[in-house]
Chains A and B, each alone.
Chain A
Amino acid sequence: MSPRWFARRCLLIGYTLLIVSLLVFAITQALPADAAVMLLGENATPDALAAVRVKLGLNDPVWQQYWHWLSALLHGEFGISMRTGQPVGPAMLLALSRSLLLAACSLALMLALAVPLGIVAALRRGGPADIGASIVSYLGVSLPEFVTATLLLILLADRLQWLPATGYVPLSENFTDGLRHLALPVLTVSLILIAHVSRMVRSEMVDVLHSDYVRAARLKGLSGAAVLFRHALRNALMPVITIVALDVGYLLGGIIVVEEIFALPGIGRQLIVAIETRDLPAIQASALIMAATYAVANFLADVAYAFLDRRIRYE
């Protein structure tokens, strides 16, 4: 892990973010029936529409709009929301913190459950537990998040009434209530993550347990537990980190849907509301923030991967 490698990765992220900003801007700027109409609704007269369009800068050439937007961005200003008239930045960052909380809890739950599940399935390979886990993980991978979320809603919130259905309470306001409101979203997101990861852990563990390396260690007389924890696990966990990194992308997508269903005011929800109200600056800001988070998460995953495997050298 040399400084050169680090620098190269940073440059790469910069390039990526630039392309992403171009992509986001290009896609959203080509909007047909536009923000001005949405803003004024039934009371729109041609004069009023023209005035609003000038005020929002919708008549400037596209590249100029992009330049304004980008330079403002680099100063930390994300623009003014067309819907609320408030600066977009602070609202987005607050929403991002909530989404990150959701993501962090889900990842934690996933690690706590998926790794042991995968190991157990690998050790009891072919047995009923393995097959059962296989079926459950197949289901987990084949159900879109909104189906899982709604089914969990019906079961846990409506029929059994164990948890509140929707809504959000900040943890700072009321810790237990906040946790209860977070429970269903976290459960939904982690369920699918657990399905992915436990399958991967299992198949990696199976490979590693039969590898020459482990057989040699056993022949050397090392105990089962030592073999397991010192050698097999570390090798099996590497692809897991790759999967988790890949899953961050899924996580972001799933978060959009989960936040919508459970009315969690995170960054996914901001995006959906912005799309619905055609709030251009908000759409661009939330999309960019989500993509940037993904890129940074991937970067961190790379670092973790390199850190865990001292044998891999990056140029």
Chain B
Amino acid sequence: MTTQVLYRRHVLAGVAAAGALVALPRGIRAQATPTHGGVLRISVDQAASVINPLLTRVNPEYLLAELLYSGLTRLAPDMTAEPDLAETWTSSPDLTEWTFRLRPNVVFHDGSPCTAKDVAASFTAMLEPKTASAARTNIGPITSVEARDDRTAVFKLSSPYADIPVALAYTNAKIIPAAIAQGGLDKLSRAAIGTGPFKLVSYEPDRQIVVARNDAYYDRARPYLDRVEVVVYPDATAEASALIAGDTDLMASAQATEFPRLSSASSVKALRVPSGQFLNVNMGCDQKPFSDVRVRQALALTVDREAMVGFVAQGYGTPGNDTPLNPAYHFYKALPLKKPDIAAAKKLLAEAGYPNGLDVTLIASDKPSTRTQLGVAMREMAKPAGFRIEVQTMPHATYLEQVWKKGPFYVGFYNMQATADAIFSLLYTSNAAWNETRWNNAAFDKLVNDARSTADEAKRRELYAQAQSAMNEQVPSVIPAFFDLLAAQRSYVQGYALHPRGAVFRLDFVSLGPGAPRRG
């Protein structure tokens, strides 16, 4: 089975790069045939208030969108693109035009056929600013999507882009019926008309959402489950207790504070995978004092990154080297880990004109609370070098309005993206949608641009390596730690692999083995 191979490849990469901390996902074991049937109860930590796939924002909503809808491609555990609604794809040699060939005989939940026209309409809606879909800036530089015939969709790009297949696996890039895409998006706030492996049965966002097997799914063998119930447990302790007691079968994510309890519970399998989720300390590179690279480098030299993993991730993480990539990314390049060097930091500060140190205010939003912890730890680590940091907490909405992307010194928090280009273009290029630091480094921009415009694997690797070195040396943000993703399941759940992207669940590969309870 292809899935098996992909899992194994991912695991080998993970083990090689991140050490022995990866919990081998169940799907590794050779599975003759997964048992069909059964009800899976998965718990999430907040309500899925939005089920319109173009507008989903948080993990429980991504989970549902994945159950109910399909995209052209989907993300495999090793971050490569797998066929979903598209069977095959090709591109023009200059990578500005991509052609996707759809599967035949795909139908929506209401029975109507899904054709390239629906694909075109869906993407047009995504790209429309009024829709306010997160997909708009995350699926690549697409100018138009056309249906050449019933089964062929042509994407025209404004610039060459090698990662289109992976980009189209984005969480919000789902295919909806053309009629709805063109003028009825509101219909999808209570109902779901997609091509996904499950259909919507009941929707009480604060309590429980139930989906049932879509017998008309394009893959006749999957999904294996009859039903999935998504239950909301806003409290982490209650959620863990429910799993341990057997009231739920799978936890989408677990808190670090509950993880030891879950690891030691019988019949519970704790899951853990290194991921590219990180906290960064952003410095406004367009104003003093951080416009001087020496100040930024000085700050970077005060941080003990291994300790930081302990402080903010309770040890469940990997140290960061001031680039947003870690071993979970395909094009990661290992650079020597920066160690704290207070003397050197003091020297750099003095050279930059601050022999007596520097007073700055670091803003941390209150969501998640690890931002403040990072701030406090950084304050103490940077004190000996002369940085006098004052940590200020702020409500998240105020932070988004007043500080994010504008402020001189603040803590950011980001999920893993599917590709190196995605995270670089999201945050660090001059024309990035979320240009946090206003670093605006032309050489870096060129590296990223060149890397995305060629399909040559070796060349891309070299270019991304240079880009990472540039960030490591110039330090627009201090990125001290990455988080491992944590989750847990009951032992009888089979086929579930914790995906480093965090927003991908692939529950249509999950089946229930012996020992699973019968749920009404």
Contact = CB atoms under 8 A, between A and B. Distances in A.
Interface stretch (A31-39, A203-211, A223-231): A31-39
A315 interface: no
B189 interface: yes
Interface string B184-213: 000001100000000000000110000000
B400 A37 contact: yes
A119 B408 CA distance: 65
Given A51-B130, A273-B234, A167 B206 contact: no
Interface string A153-179: 000000000001111000000000000
A44 B397 CA distance: 11
B471 to A, nearest CB: 22
B401 A37 contact: yes
Contacts of B33: none
B516 interface: no
Interface string B368-409: 000000000000000000000000000111101110100000
Interface stretch (A7-15, A83-91, A287-295): A83-91
B235 interface: yes
B134 A38 contact: no
Interface in A31-71: 32-34, 37-38, 40-45, 47-48, 51
B474 interface: no
B395 A33 contact: yes
B238 A167 contact: yes
Contact of A41 (B130, B237, B395, B400): B400
Given A164-B241, A167-B242, A42 B401 contact: no
A165 B244 CA distance: 13
A84 B129 contact: no
B49 interface: yes
Nearest to A166: B238
B130 A84 contact: no
Contacts of A196: none
Given A33-B398, A42-B400, A167 B241 contact: yes
A167 B233 contact: yes
A48 B129 CA distance: 8
B434 to A, nearest CB: 7
A278 interface: yes
Contact of A33 (B57, B130, B206, B397): B397
A207 B397 CA distance: 56
A40 B400 CA distance: 10
B47 interface: yes
B132 interface: yes
B205 A86 contact: yes
Given A43-B57, A84-B206, A165 B400 contact: no
B503 to A, nearest CB: 14
Interface in A70-121: 83-86, 91
B134 A43 contact: yes
A129 interface: no
Contacts of B206: 84, 86, 91, 265
Given A33-B395, A167-B233, A44 B400 contact: yes
A80 to B, nearest CB: 11
Q: How large is the interface on B (under 10, 10 to 19, 20 to 34, 35 or more residues)?
A: 20 to 34
A143 interface: no
A263 interface: yes
B129 to A, nearest CB: 6
Contacts of B404: 42
Contacts of A33: 395, 397-398, 400-402
B235 A167 contact: yes
A175 B133 CA distance: 45
Contacts of A165: 237-238, 241
B400 A263 contact: no
Contacts of A164: 241, 245
Contact of B235 (A37, A45, A86, A166): A166
Given A37-B400, A86-B205, A273-B234, A166 B132 contact: no
Contact of B234 (A44, A91, A263): A263
A47 B130 CA distance: 7
Interface centre among B233, B238, B404 (most CB of A within 10 A): B238
B189 A32 contact: no
Contact of B132 (A43, A83, A167): A43
Nearest to A164: B241
B49 A45 contact: no
B132 A42 contact: no
A38 B397 contact: yes
B132 A85 contact: no
Contacts of A32: 398
Nearest to A85: B189
Contacts of B398: 32-33
Nearest to B57: A41
A41 to B, nearest CB: 6
A34 B395 CA distance: 11
A256 to B, nearest CB: 15
Interface string B225-262: 00000000111011001100100000000000000000
Given A43-B57, A83-B49, A84-B206, A166 B241 contact: yes
B436 to A, nearest CB: 11
B400 A47 contact: no
Contacts of A278: 397
Contacts of B132: 40, 43-45, 47-48, 51
Nearest to B58: A41
B49 A263 contact: no
Contacts of B49: 83-85
The interface centre, meaning the residue of B57, B129, B134, B397 with most chain A CB atoms within 10 A of its CB, is: B397
A166 B240 CA distance: 10
Interface string B123-150: 0000001101110000000000000000
Contacts of A85: 49-50, 189-190, 205
4 cross-chain pairs, A with B, having the tightest CB-CB distances, nearest first: A263-B235, A167-B238, A48-B132, A166-B238
27 contacts: A33-B395, A33-B401, A33-B402, A38-B396, A42-B400, A42-B404, A43-B57, A43-B133, A44-B132, A45-B132, A48-B130, A51-B132, A83-B47, A84-B47, A85-B49, A85-B189, A85-B190, A85-B205, A91-B206, A164-B241, A165-B237, A165-B238, A165-B241, A167-B235, A167-B242, A265-B206, A273-B234
Interface of B: 47, 49-50, 57, 129-130, 132-134, 189-190, 205-206, 233-235, 237-238, 241-242, 245, 395-398, 400-402, 404, 434
Given A43-B133, A47-B129, A263-B235, 18 more contacts: A32-B398, A33-B397, A37-B397, A38-B396, A40-B132, A42-B134, A43-B57, A43-B132, A44-B400, A47-B132, A48-B130, A83-B47, A84-B205, A85-B189, A86-B206, A164-B241, A167-B238, A263-B233
